[in-house]
Structure 1
Amino acid sequence: MASFTLHGIPVSRGIAIGRAHLLAPAAMDVKHYLIGEVQVEAEVQRLQNAICKVREELQTIRKTLPKESPAELGAFVDVHLLILSDPMLADMPLDIIRNRQYNAEWALVTQIDELSAQFDEIEDPYLRERKADVQQVGERVLKVLTGTALRLPEVDSEGTSFANIVVVAYDISPADMLQFRDRAFAGFVTDLGGQNSHTAIVARSLDIPAAVGMNNASRLIKQDDWIIIDGDAGVVIVDPASVILEQYREHQVQLLRSRRKLGKIKKIPAITLDGTVITLLANIELPSDCATAMESGASGVGLFRSEFLFMGRIGTQHELPTEDEQFESYRQAVTAMKGRPVTIRTLDVGADKPLNVEEQTALNPALGLRAIRYCLAEPQLFLTQLKAILRASAFGPVKLLIPMLAHAFEIDQTLAMIDRAKQELRSEKIKFDEHIKIGAMIEIPAAALALPMFIKRMDFLSIGTNDLIQYTLAIDRVDHEVAHLYNPLHPAVLYLLSTVIALGRKAGIPVSVCGEMAGDVKFTRLLLGMGLLEFSMHPAQLLAVKQEILNSDLDGLIAQTKKILRNTEPSAIAAAVNQMRANPTPSHKSCL
C-alpha cells in the first residue's frame, strides 16, 4: 500500500506511532419503517429499555473510574448522564413513536437530528460542538437497539509498546474513551471534532496526541495500518516509509525528553531572566478541572466559564440551575483552589446560544443579544447568578468577570446589579466578600479603543483574544470559508492588544490575556514584550509557556516588540515573531 497523508485540526501536541484500530462507524443510518398501532407500546418499551441499559453502562463507567484519572473524564460522563435523562432525548422520541408510529431507531434519530440542527445555529464554537455530546449519547442508545457492540483490541498482559494502538473513528465519546483506559493506546484520529470538542479536551487532559476533523480518515485508513500522528501539525501519515518512521521515532524520543524537563519546572516560579514575575493562570469549564489546574502549577483560575451549568440543560428555561446549585459549583471550585484566586465569568449565552433550544436565533448571532446584553435583558437570571458567585466568595478569593462590555451604561447597569445582589445577601444575612474585584472582558474593538471608561470603573481587565480577533477582522472564526483570514498577527489586532496592555499598566490596573494566544508558545515572547504580566490558558499549555518565560529577557523583548508593532506588513511581522522565538535576545543571567 502506498503511503499517504491526511490533514486535520491539531488539538493535542506530541507524536503518536502505532497500529490503526477502527471503531465501528456511526450508527445513525438506521432502518426507517412504520409500525402498527398494536406495536406502539412494545416499541416504546424497547427504547426505554435501551435507555436504561445505557444509563447503567455510564453509571458503571463513572463508579469504576480510577481516582488518578483526569477530572474531565468523570465530568464528561456526568454530562452524558444528564443528556440521557433530559426530556428532549428521553421523552420526545417516545412521543414520536406514539404519534407518528415510527420504529424506535427512526424516532430516536429524528429527535437527534432536530436537536443537532438547533446546535448548528449556535455561533460559539465550544458550545456548538456540544452537539457531539447529544449525538454520542444517541449513538450509544442506538448501538443497544441494533446490537452493535464496541469491540476493543486485546493487548499483551505487559502492555508493551509494540501493542500500542491508534484509535480511528468517525467520532468517539468520552465514555468510550474511558473503556480504553486499561489498553495501551497511543493516540486518536477522528473524522469529526474541533479544537473544543470533548475528544480534543480529553486528549489534552490525558496528554495524548490527537488529530480531529479529518473528514474521511475512518474510510481511508484500514485496520492495522501503521499510523503516525503529528499532533503539533494536525497531520496523520498512513503506512509511512521506513525512513519517515525512523525520523518520527527519533522526534518522539526528543519530545519525551523535553516533557520530562518541563516536569522539573512545575514548582519553579515563572520569573523572566531579568527578574520579572509573571502570573500563570488556568482556564476551566468545570469545578473538577481545578485538580488539573493545581497539578499544572497554576497560580489560580483566570477564567471559569460558567456556561456549563446552563448549557447542560437542553430543555426549557424553567430547568435553569437554582442559586443554590450554582453556588455549590462555584464553592467547589473556590475551595479546590486552596486560597488561589478564581475568576468567574458571568453567563455568556444569548441569541446565538439560547438557553431554551426552541428559541429562534438572531440573523447575526455574534452581534446579537448575547453575554452581558442577554444578562441585562434577563435581570432575574443575572441576579441569581451574581448572588451565587458572591456567596462563593466567602470561601476564598473570587473575582467577577463580565463578558462583552462595550458601553459605559452597560458597565453602570452591571455594577448596579452587583450592588443589588450584595444588598439582598446582606438582608438575608449571608456572608460574601464585600470588596470582591470586578473586571471586564475586552473582546470588542470599541472596548479596546475606549479603554479609559473601563479603567475608571473596573478593578481589572481580561483580553479575550478569540473574539477580539474575530470582531476586529470581521470574520466568523468557525466558518471554514473565511477561516484562513483569522490572523492573531494582523497589525490591527496587535495594535489593540498592545494598547490595552500599555494603558492598563499605565493606570495601574491588572491586565491578563485569557484567549488562545495566551497558551500558544509562538506568542509568549511577543506578549511579554508588550508588557503582559498575566497569562491564563488551558492547564496542559502552562508548563510550555512557563519554559518560554524562564528563558526570556524582557529588556530585549520590549525593543524587538516595539519594532514589530511599527511594521504593517503581515509577512514581515510573522517572520519577526518567529525570529524572536528562534533567537531570543541573549542575557548575562542564567536560566533557572
Structure 2
Amino acid sequence: MSFQVFGIPVSRGVAIGRAVLVASSRVDVAHYFIAEAQIESEIQRALRARDVVAAELEALKQDLPGDAPHELAALLDVHLMLLHDDALTGATKQWIIERHYNAEWALSAQLEVLARQFDEMEDDYLRERKADLEQVVERVLSALAREQGHAPVDAASVVQRDFAGEDPLLLVAADIAPADMMQFKRSVFHGFITDIGGKTSHTAIVARSMDIPAVVGTREASRLIRHDDWVIIDGDAGAVIVNPSPIMLEEYRFRQRQSELERARLTRLRHTPAVTLDGERVELHANIELPADAAGAIESGATGVGLFRSEFLFMNRGGELPSEEEQFIAYKAAVEAMRGMPVTIRTVDVGADKPLDRMSASELRHEHVLNPAMGLRAIRWSLAEPSMFRQQLRAIYRASAFGKVRLLIPMVAHLGEVRQILESVKKVQQQLTDAGQAFTKVDLGVMVEIPAAAVMLPLILRHVDFVSVGTNDLIQYTLAIDRADEAVAHLYDPWHPAVLQLLSRSIAESVAAGKSVSVCGEMAGDPVFTDLLLAMGLRSFSMHPSQIPSVKQRILRADAARLARVLPQVLASEDPQREAQAVFASHKVTHSLQ
C-alpha cells in the first residue's frame, strides 16, 4: 500500500531507492538480575563497552575527511564528553551494585533518569542534548550486544554491509548520530530520512554537504517504513512517498532526470561573470572550512572566499589549541589555492553549539545553563584570551604576504570591542615588523549578527573596511528564536519584517559609507532571496560552492534597477514574502541562457 509521510525539507532534490532501516539498539534490551558474585564482572562489561565506544569515536575524529562539516567534529566531542560523564557511567555502576541489574538494564535505567531531567530543563540547547545522550547510550548498548554475540542492526554495521544488487539505497532512522554520519559520507546511501531533527541538525548539515536529498522531522517514518520498501524522497516539498504507484514513480523519475539535466546545464555558467541585465556586476564568493575546500570553490566559479570558518582548526584536538605556525600553514594554503582572489578569514567562532573539546562535561553543562548563544563566544572569547587572539592574528597577517586576505570578526556588538580589536591588530603588526616577517594590508571587517550591531552600524563603519551580514544569527537574535529548537522552528522566519528592515538598512548604510558589504548566511545561497538582496543593493554574496550556479542564474536574469524600485512596497508590506513574489515577478525581465 502506498502512503506518504511529511517532514522538514533540508536538502533539495529527488531520490528514489529501497529503504534501509537503522533500528534503535535500545529495542529488546535484556533485563535480568545478577548474583552478588557477578557484580564486579558486570561493571567491567559496562566499562569495556564504554571504552570500545570511546575508541570508535576517537578513531572517527582522527579519520574525519577533509570535506567534513566542522560541526560534526564538535558533535563527536560532545558525545565523548557525555560518554565519560560520571552522571552516566558512575550512576550506571550504582544501578549494578545496588539493584543487581545487568549492564544493559542499568544503562537503560540511567538513560531514562537523565532523559527526564533533560526534558525538565529550561535551556533549549541543553534539552536538545537529550538526543546526543540517547545516541551515546545506543552505541554502548550495541557494544555490549556485540560482546554477547547478538549485535542488533545498527548504523555502524549497516554501513559496512556489502549490499547486493544495483538499486539505490535510502537510509531511514529515528535519528543518525554524528559518528555514524561520518561513515555514511563514504557509503552508498543516496538520501536520508529521520524521525527527528531540523534544518540545522547534523543530518541536515551532512546531507547538504553531500548534495543529496534529505527529509528530517518526519516523526513516524522509521516505524512506518519497512526494510526494502521502495521510497521516494522529495527534498523540495519535504515529502516521503512509500511504495509509490507506477505512475507516481515514473513522474518522480522524470523530475529526477530533469533535475540532473538542470544541474548539468548550470555548470555551463561556471566561467560566466555574474552580471545583471542592467550591467550590475555581482561577486559570488564561497564559504569554506578547510584549505582543501578552496578547490571546490574554484571549480564552482567562485570569485573568492567570503567566509573561511577558522574554528575548524581549533576543534577535535584533544584540548590543545593550534599553534601559530599550524594556523599560518592552513591560511597560506587557502590563500595560494585561490590564485590571487580574496580570502576572508573569520577569527575563531567557538561557543554555543561549537564548544572546544578541552571543556569538561561539567563545564559544558554549566555553560549551556547560562545560555551559551548569548555567552562567551566568538569575539568575546577571543578578547578574553588575548594571547590566543594575537597568535591567530599573526598567522592571518603572515598569510597575507601570499595573496589578498581580509580579516572578519564575528559577533561584534560594542564599539569597545572594535577598539580592542584595532589595538590587537596594531600590536600584531608591530610584532611582525620587529621580527622581520612579511605581511601586506589586510582589510578589517565585522559581522552583523546582533541587532545592536545593525542599529549602530554607522558608528562601527567609521572604524572598519567592510561588513558581512550573518543572516542565520541575525534572524535568531532578532526574533529571540533558537533555530535548532523544533518547538519554535516554525517561527524562524527570514521574511519577518523586522529582519528585512535590519538587513536592508545594513546594506544601504554600508553602501552609503563607501564600504563593501556581503551576506554570508543561508539567505545568500537560497535563490528565493536573490532578487530581494539585489533590490536592497547587495552586490556580494557568499555561500556553499554547490549553491553558486543556481544563484548566478537568478542574477543573470535580473534587472537590479527595476527590482530596487519596488523594494519599498515589499518592506512596507505586512506579508513581505507574498508581496515580493508579486512585485518582483511583474518587474522582472528574463532571458534564456545562451
Q: TM class by shorter-chain length? A: 0.7 to 0.9
Please say if 1:381 is aligned against 2:388. Answer: yes
Q: What displacement does 1:26 show?
A: 4.3
Q: What displacement does 1:108 show?
A: 8.1
Counterpart residue number, 2:284: 280
Partners of 2:135 and 2:177 within 8 A in 1: yes
Counterpart residue number, 2:322: 321
Question: Which is further off, 229-238 or 26-35?
Answer: 26-35
What is the SS of the residue equivalent to 1:36?
helix
Q: d(CA) in 1 for partners of 2:69 and 2:508?
A: 41
Q: What displacement does 1:124 show?
A: 10
Q: What displacement does 1:128 show?
A: 10
What is the SS of the residue equivalent to 1:411?
helix
Report matched runs for 1:97-116 at 5 Å.
none
Q: TM-score, normalised by structure 1?
A: 0.82
Query: Structure 1 pair 475/338, CA: closer, same or farther in 2 (3 Å)?
Result: same
Query: Structure 1 pair 239/581, CA: closer, same or farther in 2 (3 Å)?
Result: farther
Partners of 1:334 and 1:397 within 8 A in 2: yes
Q: d(CA) in 2 for partners of 1:121 and 1:168?
A: 29
Q: d(CA) in 1 for partners of 2:91 and 2:121?
A: 27
Q: d(CA) in 1 for partners of 2:404 and 2:558?
A: 30
Q: d(CA) in 2 for partners of 1:28 and 1:431?
A: 61
Counterpart residue number, 2:474: 468
State the AA in 2 paired with 1:329: A
Please say if 1:569 is aligned against 2:570. Answer: no
Runs (5+) with no aligned partner, structure 1? 63-69
Query: Structure 1 pair 28/537, CA: closer, same or farther in 2 (3 Å)?
Result: farther
Q: d(CA) in 2 for partners of 1:564 and 1:54?
A: 49
What is the SS of the residue equivalent to 2:484?
coil
Q: d(CA) in 1 for partners of 2:86 and 2:410?
A: 35
1:372-404 alpha-carbon deviations (Å, 9 max, x no partner): 223223323322332232233333322111112
Please say if 1:391 is aligned against 2:398. Answer: yes
Partners of 2:3 and 2:244 within 8 A in 1: yes
Report matched runs for 1:87-236 at 5 Å.
89=83, 96=90, 139-140=138-139, 142-147=141-146, 148=151, 150-151=157-158, 159=166, 163-172=167-176, 176=180, 185-236=189-240
State the AA in 2 paired with 1:8: G
State the AA in 2 paired with 1:322: S
Q: d(CA) in 1 for partners of 2:370 and 2:59?
A: 41
Partners of 1:501 and 1:532 within 8 A in 2: yes
Counterpart residue number, 2:255: 251
Q: What displacement does 1:439 show?
A: 0.2
1:145-182 alpha-carbon deviations (Å, 9 max, x no partner): 4223524676566x3xxx12221122335765676688
Q: What displacement does 1:344 show?
A: 1.7
Counterpart residue number, 1:334: 335
Q: What displacement does 1:105 show?
A: 6.2
Query: Structure 1 pair 523/499, CA: closer, same or farther in 2 (3 Å)?
Result: same
Partners of 2:88 and 2:111 within 8 A in 1: no
Q: What displacement does 1:429 show?
A: 3.4
Please say if 1:440 is aligned against 2:446. Answer: yes
Counterpart residue number, 1:72: 67
Counterpart residue number, 2:349: 348
2:560 to 554, 564, 567: 554
State the AA in 1 paired with 2:15: A
State the AA in 1 paired with 2:7: G
Counterpart residue number, 2:582: 579
Q: What displacement does 1:536 show?
A: 0.8
Question: Which is further off, 199-208 or 508-517?
Answer: 199-208
Query: Structure 1 pair 151/442, CA: closer, same or farther in 2 (3 Å)?
Result: closer
Partners of 1:445 and 1:468 within 8 A in 2: yes
Q: d(CA) in 2 for partners of 1:351 and 1:239?
A: 41
Partners of 2:25 and 2:141 within 8 A in 1: no
What is the SS of the residue equivalent to 1:319?
coil
Q: d(CA) in 1 for partners of 2:355 and 2:72?
A: 23
Q: What displacement does 1:211 show?
A: 1.1
State the AA in 2 paired with 1:232: D
Counterpart residue number, 1:414: 421
Report matched runs for 1:510-521 at 5 Å.
510-521=516-527
What is the SS of the residue equivalent to 1:343?
strand
Query: Structure 1 pair 238/116, CA: closer, same or farther in 2 (3 Å)?
Result: same
State the AA in 1 paired with 2:472: N
State the AA in 2 paired with 1:143: S
Partners of 2:475 and 2:499 within 8 A in 1: yes
Counterpart residue number, 2:11: 12
Q: d(CA) in 2 for partners of 1:169 and 1:260?
A: 31
Q: d(CA) in 1 for partners of 2:407 and 2:71?
A: 26
Q: d(CA) in 2 for partners of 1:406 and 1:450?
A: 9
Partners of 2:74 and 2:354 within 8 A in 1: no
Q: What displacement does 1:81 show?
A: 8.3
Q: d(CA) in 2 for partners of 1:192 and 1:504?
A: 40
What is the SS of the residue equivalent to 2:383?
helix
Query: Structure 1 pair 417/458, CA: closer, same or farther in 2 (3 Å)?
Result: same
What is the aligned length?
569
Query: Structure 1 pair 430/215, CA: closer, same or farther in 2 (3 Å)?
Result: farther
Partners of 1:12 and 1:208 within 8 A in 2: yes
Partners of 1:83 and 1:137 within 8 A in 2: no
1:10-59 alpha-carbon deviations (Å, 9 max, x no partner): 22110112221212324598568785346656764565456557767887
1:522 to 524, 528, 546: 528
State the AA in 1 paired with 2:533: L
Q: What displacement does 1:450 show?
A: 1.8
1:67-88 alpha-carbon deviations (Å, 9 max, x no partner): xxx842598997788789x687
Q: What displacement does 1:291 show?
A: 3.1
State the AA in 2 paired with 1:6: V
What is the SS of the residue equivalent to 2:292?
helix
Query: Structure 1 pair 298/130, CA: closer, same or farther in 2 (3 Å)?
Result: farther
State the AA in 1 paired with 2:573: T
Partners of 1:524 and 1:548 within 8 A in 2: yes
Query: Structure 1 pair 28/271, CA: closer, same or farther in 2 (3 Å)?
Result: farther
Q: d(CA) in 1 for partners of 2:124 and 2:334?
A: 24
Q: What displacement does 1:5 show?
A: 2.6
State the AA in 2 paired with 1:519: G
Partners of 1:122 and 1:352 within 8 A in 2: no
**Sequence identity percentage:** 51
Query: Structure 1 pair 211/531, CA: closer, same or farther in 2 (3 Å)?
Result: same
Q: d(CA) in 2 for partners of 1:38 and 1:484?
A: 49
Query: Structure 1 pair 348/506, CA: closer, same or farther in 2 (3 Å)?
Result: same
Q: What displacement does 1:241 show?
A: 3.8
1:101-131 alpha-carbon deviations (Å, 9 max, x no partner): 967768988799989999x999898x99899
What is the SS of the residue equivalent to 2:566?
helix
1:482 to 471, 482, 488: 488
Q: d(CA) in 2 for partners of 1:11 and 1:183?
A: 20
